[in-house]
Structure 1
Amino acid sequence: MDARPKVIYLPDTMVNWPWPQHLRSGCDLMNLFFIVEEYTDIENEGVTKEMVDIVLDALQNPHKIRPEGECILGEITRQFWAHVIQFASLPSQRHFLETFDEYINLVLVEAIDREQGRKRSLDDYLKLRRKTIGAKPCLLIIEMEIDLLDEAFYHPDMMSYNKEQAAGHEFHNLINIVMLELNLDRGSAMAWAAHYHAEVQKRFIDGLAKVPSWGPSIDVLVKEYLNGIANWGLANYSWSYESQRYFATKGPKIQHTRLIPLLPKISAGRSQLLCATPSA
């Protein structure tokens, strides 16, 4: 028997990655979402409004030096967008700015709800959550190098429940709202959400057969875009377990067992964030 140690070659799969800008921009965008939510999730309406204004100003002025003492959100956003606009198609830039503006302004609505203790109905929550989850801006990664016509462009909480109930954000989580409105326990609410997810998935798949045609040159772009959307659900599923956002280092184990102990309630305050307000 050969006693020599076996050497296994692990190829660098990213060296020949055909879409390097997509990969870089996608990672940068996810990190931007991370920091926006970590900062705004514990703030009141006033502070959240300041942060929202800073982020939007950075998107509109990616080459402007940010003010000294400003919340770091401004510079993070500026660097992200200054990089993306070097190669992203003009339609994708416009669509991103529209959808991100909608997303972050509704993050402010979420802060108002949190401050006022507002409990939304299930239908009202779903209408809001479809936008505060940030899915639409993420589609920039798919559309980045596609010149998709506006006519074609304009013609999805179970993972986050434990973290949000512990941090006091339960009124902006589907599971808690289902429990309250339908008078269900946690297990039944999870089952309801799984069934709802299956229904949405079916509607999406059925809808693919009804997509109109804009001619061969546009249809191939629409197909590429819809394929990216179809894969986004699986990508989000993997990210939820692997990113440590919701399950820390226990994601793979929880993904296997489907069991998780509830976190204790915590109190968060602005003192936990090193975020300065803009200097006068």
Structure 2
Amino acid sequence: MSYIILPDTLYSWPWPRRINQHYSETKVKLDAWIHSTKILDAKAQNAFDKCDFVLLASLCYPHLHRDQLRVAGELMMLFFLFDECTDKVDGESVGPYINMVIDALEHPEVTPPEDCPCDLREITRQFWLRATSVAPLASRIRFKKTFIEYIKAVAFEAHDRLDNNIRSIDDYLQLRRLTAGGYPSLFPIDFAVDIPNEVMQHPTLSTLNGLVAESLILLNDVYSYNIEQASGHHAHNLVTVVMHELNVPIQDALEWIRRYHTECLERFLALKGTLPSWGVTVDQDVQRYVEGLAEGVRGIDTWCFESQRYFGPKGLQVQQTRIVPLLSRVSADVATPMTVSEVAAVAPHVAEADMAAKL
């Protein structure tokens, strides 16, 4: 197959696209900040800029105030920087980066020497100092726990990458729930409210958190698969895992993921109305939090097409057609999406059934 058809599991998701009103000014500030650190070389910085992580934060957290959005944007950048540092090394070599991040979270008061170049520790330290000024203590404690779990799990991913190891579906999802950063990415939603630990640990709210984290995995793996298979880094991707375990072609694997994702979203919608009451004030914060979870699902999906992370400058066209030509295995360049007429030629059922409503 020379192309894939991306599933659209959010076509009926009740939460529309929203963007934070502070996006533009926050982007200017954070772009200037990250460039000033000189932590990335020119090639990596160019790739970083195309991702527009402030856009990601602004779409996922549309109601944060200015200072909160800056912290959320820095967190999205930190995810990328940690991946950039660890994607090309084995499990043992990930250790120093893990230690840097943990040390910055535990000891943000320790500043580097004046002549020391900016590194991952200093980026983390600056982010965390700003986070402590906007986030309640309970949410900071929850974030540190989930973020440290995330960075430690990346070492297992590095081992898989080095060995070209393909896990079972269950084993993969168990690890990916940590390596995808789904739980720490809920931090900006969490620090916009003030929810006690005993409430956040309620089984229903915990399940809602888990379903959103699962949604992030499914969306990310589907949209990143083409670039990952082209660069040979696709063993740690659910599309490959499903193909391998079920012995099915790519499109059947995508259909399996579509069904599974639909089940997650339907379960979220069913559960969100079953939360108990903890009193008026807490209930209002919980309601805001759950709405934030749902907006985050829409936000990550939208960003995948509005940024140039996965589909280059033609993301909006891919969002409409859902057709993506497969890149050759030796190239990691972004493929050119098909035109509307080309889609109609290769996938008339898509053109007739879906595209009239999307174009």
TM-score norm. by structure 1 comes to: 0.85
Q: Deviations over 1:51-99 (max 9, x none)?
A: 1111111111222123666772111111111111112111111111011
- 1:263 is aligned to 2:327: yes
- 1:272 maps to what in 2? none
Partners of 1:63 and 1:243 in 2: CA distance: 35
Q: Which amino acid letter does the alignment assign opposite residue 178 of structure 2?
A: K
| Rounded Cα–Cα distance in structure 1 between residues aligned with 2:186 and 2:315 | 25
Partner of 1:134: 181
Q: Which residue of 2 aligns with 1:153?
A: 200
Q: Choose from 255, 270, 275 the match for 1:206.
A: 270
CA-CA distance at 1:166 after TM superposition = 2.3
Match of 2:166 among 102, 105, 119: 119
Task: Kindly provide the amino acid, as one letter, of the partner of residue 95 in structure 2.
Answer: K
Q: Find the counterpart in structure 1 of residue 190 from structure 2.
A: 143
> Which residue of 1 is the match for residue 237 of structure 2?
173
Matching of residues 218-229 of structure 1 within 5 Å: 218-229=282-293
Instruction: Name the SS of the counterpart of 1:158 in structure 2.
Output: helix
How much does 1:232 deviate?
A: 1.0
| 1:229-249 CA distance string (max 9 Å, x none) | 111110000111122222222
Of 134, 149, 163, which aligns to 1:102?
149
Evaluate the alpha carbon distance shift between residue 48 and residue 26 of structure 1 in structure 2; reply closer, same or farther with a 3 A threshold: same
The yes-or-no answer on 1:59 pairing with 2:105 is: yes
Note if 1:78 corresponds to 2:125. Answer: yes
**1:18–1:80 distance in 2 versus 1, CA, 3 Å:** closer
Pick from 27, 30, 35: which aligns with 2:76? Answer: 30
Alpha-carbon separation, structure 2, partners of 1:41 and 1:209: 40
Q: Which of 65, 71, 75 is residue 19 of structure 1 equivalent to? A: 65
Q: Which amino acid aligns with 1:91?
A: A
Q: Find the aligned partners of 1:108 and 1:243 in 2 and give their Cα distance.
A: 28
Q: Is the 8 A contact 1:32 1:76 kept in 2?
A: yes
Segment of structure 1 superposing worse, 138-147 or 220-229: 138-147
Structure 1 spans left out of the alignment, 5+ residues = 1-11, 269-280
The 3 A distance-change label for structure 1 pair 134 and 250 is: same
The aligned amino acid for 2:89 is E
Aligned mates of 1:41, 1:131 — CA distance in 2: 16
8 Å CA contact 1:89, 1:144 repeated in 2: yes
Question: In the alignment, is the contact (CA less than 8 A) between 1:102 and 1:131 conserved in 2?
Answer: yes
Unmatched tracts of structure 2, length 5 or more: 1-19, 26-62, 203-213, 215-220, 333-359
1:135 is paired with a residue whose SS is coil
Question: What's the counterpart of residue 4 of structure 2?
Answer: none
RMSD (CA atoms): 2.2
Structure 1 match to 2:295 = 231
Task: Give the direction of change, closer, same or farther, for the CA distance of 1:188–1:267 in structure 2 (3 Å limit).
Answer: closer
What secondary structure does 1:64 align onto? Answer: coil
CA contact (8 A) 1:175 1:186 kept: yes
Aligned length in residues: 256
Q: Percent identity?
A: 41
2:317 paired residue number: 253
Instruction: Quote the Cα distance in structure 1 between the aligned partners of 2:118 and 2:158.
Output: 18
Cα distance in structure 1, aligned partners of 2:300 and 2:21: 21
Instruction: Report Cα offsets for 1:16-45 as digits up to 9, x if no partner.
Output: x86112221111111111111122112111
Cα separation, partners in 2 of 1:142 and 1:253, compared to 1, 3 Å: same
In the alignment, is residue 194 of structure 1 matched against residue 258 of structure 2? yes
- Which residue does the alignment assign to 1:39? 85
Q: Is the 8 A contact 1:241 1:255 kept in 2?
A: yes
How far apart, in 2, do the equivalents of 1:154 and 1:168 lie? 39
